[in-house]
Amino acid sequence: SAVISQKPSRDICQRGTSLTIQCQVDSQVTMMFWYRQQPGQSLTLIATANQGSEATYESGFVIDKFPISRPNLTFSTLTVSNMSPEDSSIYLCSASRRSSYEQYFGPGTRLTVT
Amino acid sequence: TQLLEQSPQFLSIQEGENLTVYCNSSSVFSSLQWYRQEPGEGPVLLVTVVTGGEVKKLKRLTFQFGDARKDSSLHITAAQPGDTGLYLCAGEGYLTSGTYKYIFGTGTRLKVLA
């Protein structure tokens, strides 16, 4: 298993600003993923972060808006840039080891944009 | 585009009743996972099924992967209030880069009444 922490746990931000969310895993993992979730709804994948290469973004998400870093095998960041109220959501990171078919989630970051 | 449809979307039952949640797709997945999520927390992995036709049991929960690896079901026997939560299935798919990602189902919100 893996234990994942996220910072911040929640934030209230003003329109037009940017927020960087940090995701730390307690052990080395192959893949890290970033998701967005509206309360009570399912998860939407934003991008896949592979160490040593650029993140792979899903349709509807672009690097300029959601830049991602993956500097090593235990850490990743997601930045939400030039925020608008439509970016208000819960942002979740997860980590996975291919060999175990398992995926573990952080507690999420609740973002409110005013 | 790979989609996973879950049914039912909402389910409210009395303690002690049985229930089945379905996860269906037209796409084939390498593996399929089931998660339970409670408010304010990240999803928690319940099980991963890998082989077509596979059946796994976790106490009162029974998971089945379809023979064609396109669908899955979760059956709960004698539901308890502690089973209340958002149940999510997630299928593993491959990216053109050779890495992989998870596609989440639409979710089933379960409430078990005491």
Q: What is the pLDDT of residue B5?
A: 96
pLDDT tens for each residue of B89-98: 999 987 766 6
Cβ <8 Å between B104 and A43: yes
Cβ <8 Å between B99 and A45: no
Q: What is the pLDDT of residue A54?
A: 85
Q: What is the pLDDT of residue A100?
A: 66
Q: What is the pLDDT of residue B2?
A: 66
A4 contacts on B by Cβ (under 8 Å): 42
Instruction: Determine the residue among A24, A42, A45, A51 to mutate to test chain B binding: the one whose Cβ has the most chain B Cβ atoms within 10 Å.
Output: A42
Burial code of A91-100, b = ≥16 C-beta within 10 A, e = fewer?
bbbbbbbeee
DSSP string spanning B49-113?
A: E-STT-EEEETTEEEEE-TTSSEEEEEESS--GGG-EEEEEEEEEE-TTS-EEEEE---EEEEEE
Q: What is the pLDDT of residue A104?
A: 94
Q: Do A31 and A102 meet the contact criterion of CB atoms below 8 Å apart?
A: no
Q: What is the pLDDT of residue B67?
A: 95
> Taking residues A5-29, what's their average pLDDT?
96
- Tell me the pLDDT of chain B (114 aa) as tens digits: 668 999 999 999 999 999 999 999 999 998 999 999 999 999 999 999 999 999 999 999 999 999 999 999 999 999 999 999 999 999 998 776 667 889 999 999 999 999
> Taking residues A98-114, what's their average pLDDT?
89
Q: What is the pLDDT of residue A88?
A: 97
Cβ <8 Å between A104 and B45: yes
Q: Kindly report the number of other CB atoms within 10 A of residue B13's CB atom.
A: 16
H or E element at residue B24? strand B19-24
- Contact residues for A92 (Cβ-Cβ < 8 A; gap 6+): A6, A34, A35, A36, A37, A43, A105, A106, A108, A109, B42, B43
pLDDT tens for each residue of A29-63: 988 999 999 988 999 999 999 887 889 999 999 99
Q: What is the pLDDT of residue B100?
A: 84
